[in-house]
A and B are shown apart, each in its own frame.
Chain A
């Protein structure tokens, strides 16, 4: 089964005062069609950078892609004609759900205007040719009507009350949760194949996070859309993901199906992460040490300074991907086996 999205060896640097920060180091990542993949990691591990690199919206001056490829349905997006990517891939085959619903809408235009502007260029009814109408080109009446009824239907699907009225109102009239539902709707309207969701519930109230997540999962499963979903919260990943990938300091450490991941984690970092989740009556267990600087990162496996099992090999070479069967992959020289526990 061909992967929908295949990232291979992606390395990205950010320009800083103290020299280039190696934010991503040779990342590999796969997303299969119809699959919800969770990309888990602490703040600063590079998951948002990875998401933006895939979308192609890294800040041009500050970020440099040092190498690697981002293959979407076989084509390397990094080497394609940028205008073609902007027209046909972004907002069509790949859509986006941002982290902060409070600032991701323009505050001065009604919701309807913003959604219909999106539909004007990205509606599934637009032909495969570029919309040659230009900036202020015509929006053909019939397509407008068809699109509008799609919009209303999708608004109902994300459980927005009074969809027609919603279109006339301004973003600030809605709560964070409602705005995120609107974002989900906008991500689904172009009938994408992949949605990149960057911590979509982090900015929301804890009480509605689960609601939104379940809504998203239900809708994408219905439509057979893949999701690459970044989060720092393991609970979220457990809730809605089919597979989980763990990142640390710009390197991916382990990838597995969700049940396998939580039952038999093989990477020391993953184990530490799972252990550190507070449980009622249990103690608070931290991972000793600190997140490394990315300007002068540790060599080899970047977790080695904080790892109990680190050896000279870990310092010298970045571990290659080791398959543990059943789609479970880990990049570690000393993966923890089921039978060999601390």
Chain B
């Protein structure tokens, strides 16, 4: 646990990581407190055709959309969807990818090769395309989007865990524990697991950003949760026919996506700098 404090303290010195953390906190706040923060919470479901496509004003901070609904309020509720998709998709990918990576890294035979080839297959095609295929197959809905994203992101975790497990296998301490008679799996769970925590955490943070972008792309293509769900990507797609007049309609959700993903990326970078000193630049001797 002292390790965690160390990490948090180092992280606190990194201004961009703190900014990332702030942005993520903002996202979580918006999602959790949406009913409270929204000026027109009922607009998620109700229609006000008379008010459609109004510019930002005191009554509607970010204007209204084609249904007359308040863009700002729908954006806040959209944050809920974003978080849910991100957390569950990355969570499932992690739960799938980490064990697969561990098994592949632990064994050395055909099983290991097979698992890595399978993950290569998933990595061979851009995630977006595969996710589109899956989402289309199953139909546009929130659970399907999450499924599509989980199924296509797990290889990233598997790869990282595989590489780390293999690297750790070569380390002396693993050999000596083995010599002491610990069972192979006990070894893996107790010794390897804590050491792969860092790369997994970094990958999870970066994965959140990546997944949210892909989810938005799916929403944009009409493969996400159907209306009236205020998903950010879909909102952008809806807004297209009303440009250039209703610029707020397209700009606001895009900015929301941008800030969210940036938050996760900045945090991920900061975590990587703190947790993985091996990636740091080498230094030559400065004096002798």
- Which A positions have Cβ atoms within 8 angstroms of B? 14, 23, 43-49, 52, 59, 62-63, 99, 198-199, 230, 232
Residues of chain B lying within 8 A (CB to CB) of residue A199:
288
Residues of chain B lying within 8 A (CB to CB) of residue A14:
286-287
Q: Which residue of A lies closest to B287 (CB)?
A: A49
Complex Cα–Cα for A151 and B144 (A): 71
Residues of chain A lying within 8 A (CB to CB) of residue B3:
none
Q: Which of A59, A62, A63, A198 contacts B288 (CB 8 A)?
A: A198
Shortest CB-to-CB span from B129 to chain A, Å, is 37
Complex Cα–Cα for A45 and B288 (A): 6
Are A23 and B287 closer than 8 Å at their CB atoms? Answer: yes
Complex Cα–Cα for A52 and B287 (A): 9
Q: Which residue of B lies closest to A51 (CB)?
A: B288
10 closest cross-chain pairs (CB), A and B: A48-B288, A49-B287, A48-B287, A23-B287, A43-B288, A47-B288, A59-B286, A46-B287, A62-B286, A199-B288
19 contacting pairs across A/B (C-beta < 8 A): A14-B286, A14-B287, A23-B287, A43-B288, A44-B287, A44-B288, A45-B288, A46-B287, A46-B288, A48-B287, A49-B286, A49-B287, A49-B288, A59-B286, A63-B286, A198-B288, A199-B288, A230-B288, A232-B288
Interface status of B179 (Cβ within 8 A of chain A):
no
Q: B259-288: which residues lie under 8 A (CB-CB) from chain A?
A: 285-288
Complex Cα–Cα for A45 and B287 (A): 8
Q: Which of A23, A48, A63 contacts B285 (CB 8 A)?
A: A48
- Which B positions have Cβ atoms within 8 angstroms of A? 285-288
Residues of chain B lying within 8 A (CB to CB) of residue A49:
286-288
Shortest CB-to-CB span from B6 to chain A, Å, is 15
Number of A-B contacts (CB under 8 A): 25
Complex Cα–Cα for A47 and B287 (A): 7
Complex Cα–Cα for A232 and B288 (A): 9
Specify the main secondary structure of chain B where it touches its partner: loop
Residues of chain A lying within 8 A (CB to CB) of residue B287:
14, 23, 44, 46, 48-49, 52
Shortest CB-to-CB span from A204 to chain B, Å, is 16
Which of B286, B287, B288 has the most chain A CB within a 10 Å cutoff? B287
Residues of chain A lying within 8 A (CB to CB) of residue B286:
14, 49, 59, 62-63
Residues of chain B lying within 8 A (CB to CB) of residue A59:
286
Q: Which residue of A lies closest to B288 (CB)?
A: A48
Shortest CB-to-CB span from A47 to chain B, Å, is 6
Complex Cα–Cα for A46 and B286 (A): 10
Complex Cα–Cα for A59 and B285 (A): 11
Shortest CB-to-CB span from A164 to chain B, Å, is 32
Shortest CB-to-CB span from A43 to chain B, Å, is 6
Complex Cα–Cα for A230 and B287 (A): 12
Shortest CB-to-CB span from A177 to chain B, Å, is 21
Residues of chain B lying within 8 A (CB to CB) of residue A230:
288
Complex Cα–Cα for A46 and B288 (A): 6
Shortest CB-to-CB span from A180 to chain B, Å, is 17
Residues of chain B lying within 8 A (CB to CB) of residue A44:
287-288
Complex Cα–Cα for A47 and B285 (A): 12
Complex Cα–Cα for A198 and B287 (A): 11
Q: Which residue of B lies closest to A59 (CB)?
A: B286
Shortest CB-to-CB span from A292 to chain B, Å, is 15
Other A-B pairs beyond A14-B286, A45-B288, 15, CB < 8 Å: A14-B287, A43-B288, A44-B287, A44-B288, A46-B287, A46-B288, A47-B288, A48-B287, A48-B288, A49-B286, A99-B288, A198-B288, A199-B288, A230-B288, A232-B288
Complex Cα–Cα for A44 and B288 (A): 5
Complex Cα–Cα for A43 and B288 (A): 5
Residues of chain A lying within 8 A (CB to CB) of residue B288:
43-49, 99, 198-199, 230, 232
Shortest CB-to-CB span from A250 to chain B, Å, is 10
Residues of chain B lying within 8 A (CB to CB) of residue A47:
288
Shortest CB-to-CB span from A58 to chain B, Å, is 8
Shortest CB-to-CB span from A36 to chain B, Å, is 19
